[in-house]
């Protein structure tokens, strides 16, 4: 562990919250999406583009904050991403039309990617071996729970707030994380270990990554699986609320129950955490299998052998 005697609980909570920023940016306002469309006077399809904008930001942000954290350390890019998250969230809350909202939510997704990237980078600096593998598995659990909890929290907030208030809450979460990062987290990447090249030099390696067939195969598999899920995410608020007449609160519970079934909940992912450790030891590599592993049927004893996870499995390629 790089820091001397860090507060493990504080680090675990803070890094878990950072890892959850991506799902929060996408899922927290889902129950309010029909109200958002009505208030801004836009069509359903245009309102759904806000999800697309957020996803584009999440993807682009990883390409930005990853190289930045290797060159400038972890804390400064983290604080920058959280400050951007606050500004973008307030921008969403104050949006006068759908176009302003789309731009603000694009930057909100960009900022949310910083939390996802830097939580893993800080964990990699702090831990090694099987301890790193288990901590990554913990972050996987957070990523599984956040898409369930975020819409439920959003539905609860809709009892006292409108859709603009939900983005204000997201801005308040950004402020809380800024305070935690500023006073509780320490720099984990010393100057001598930082990248000496420019940020743009890291992008040059993307050509090699894109031409790596096993990597692209896993990426395409993940992308096709996630595309179906996001079609459901974008359509479900309108179908369940406007056609079936569910309230935002009832929708959020229905959405959470539907996400619970594939195995994204904590009880069903405990076997995945254990499996990651076993794979790591069998491969002799601490990074084997830590990218993504879900056992959607692991909650049922008779189906635990089924390892076809909804999120796929990316193992170490020799």
Enter the tokens of residue 155. 């539905």
Please report the pLDDT score of residue 159 as a whole number: 94
Measured CA to CA, the distance from residue 14 to residue 118 in angstroms comes to 11
Q: At 66, which CATH number? A: 1.20.1250.20
Tell whether 129 is covered by a domain.
yes
Tell whether 18 is covered by a domain.
yes
Measured CA to CA, the distance from residue 136 to residue 243 in angstroms comes to 40
* Burial state string for 292-313 with b = 16 or more CB within 10 A and e = fewer than 16: bbbbbbbbeeeeeeeeebbbbb
Tell whether 42 is covered by a domain.
yes
Please report the pLDDT score of residue 278 as a whole number: 53
Enter the tokens of residue 68. 């930045």
Tell whether 34 is covered by a domain.
yes
- Band of the pLDDT at 4, cuts 50, 70, 90? very low
Measured CA to CA, the distance from residue 60 to residue 18 in angstroms comes to 17
Tell whether 257 is covered by a domain.
yes
Tell whether 312 is covered by a domain.
no
Torsion angle of the four alpha carbons 131, 278, 269, 1, in this order, in degrees rounded to the nearest 10: 0
Tell whether 136 is covered by a domain.
yes
- Band of the pLDDT at 140, cuts 50, 70, 90? confident
Tell whether 160 is covered by a domain.
yes
Alpha carbon 255 to chain centroid distance?
17
**Would you say the pTM of this structure is higher than 0.85?**
no
Please report the pLDDT score of residue 263 as a whole number: 45
Q: Do residues 157 and 166 touch, judged by C-beta distance below 8 A?
A: yes
143 closest CA partner among 53, 55, 253, 266: 266
Measured CA to CA, the distance from residue 154 to residue 161 in angstroms comes to 9
Output phi, psi for 301, to 5 deg.
Answer: -55, -40
Dump pLDDT digits (tens) for 276-309.
455 445 544 444 444 444 434 344 433 333 333 3
Structural domain of 86: 8-191+214-303
Task: Count the Cβ atoms, other than its own, within 10 Å of residue 123.
Answer: 21
Return the minimum-mean-pLDDT range out of 41-50, 239-248, 257-266. Answer: 257-266
Please report the pLDDT score of residue 262 as a whole number: 46
Structural domains counted in the chain: 1
């Amino acid at each position: 562990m790089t820091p001397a005697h860090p507060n493990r609980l504080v680090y675990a909570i803070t890094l878990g919250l950072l890892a959850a920023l991506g799902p929060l940016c996408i899922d927290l306002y889902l129950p309010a999406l029909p109200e958002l469309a009505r208030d801004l006077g836009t069509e359903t399809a245009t309102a759904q583009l806000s999800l697309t904008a957020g996803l584009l930001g999440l993807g682009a942000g990883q390409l930005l904050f990853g190289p930045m954290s290797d060159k400038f350390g972890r804390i400064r890019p983290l604080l920058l991403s959280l400050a951007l998250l606050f500004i973008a969230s307030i921008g969403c809350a104050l949006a006068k039309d759908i176009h302003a909202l789309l731009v603000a939510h694009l930057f909100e997704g960009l900022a949310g990617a910083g939390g996802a990237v830097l939580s893993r980078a800080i964990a990699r600096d702090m831990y090694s071996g099987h301890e790193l593998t288990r901590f990554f598995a913990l972050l996987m659990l957070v990523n599984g729970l956040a898409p369930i909890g975020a819409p439920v929290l959003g539905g609860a907030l809709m009892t006292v707030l409108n859709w603009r208030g939900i983005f204000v809450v997201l801005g308040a979460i950004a402020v809380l994380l800024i305070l935690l990062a500023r006073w509780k987290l320490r720099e984990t990447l010393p100057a001598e270990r930082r990248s000496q090249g420019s940020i743009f030099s890291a992008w040059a390696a993307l050509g090699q990554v894109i031409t790596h067939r096993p990597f692209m195969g896993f990426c395409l598999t993940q992308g096709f699986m996630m595309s179906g899920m996001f079609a459901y995410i974008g359509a479900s608020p309108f179908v369940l609320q406007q056609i079936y007449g569910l309230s935002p609160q009832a929708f959020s519970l229905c959405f959470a129950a539907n996400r619970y079934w594939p195995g994204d909940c904590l009880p069903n992912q405990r076997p995945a955490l254990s499996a990651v450790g076993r794979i790591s030891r069998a491969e002799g590599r601490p990074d084997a299998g830590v990218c993504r592993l879900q056992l959607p049927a692991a909650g049922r004893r008779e189906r635990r052998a089924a390892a076809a996870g909804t999120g796929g499995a990316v193992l170490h390629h020799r």
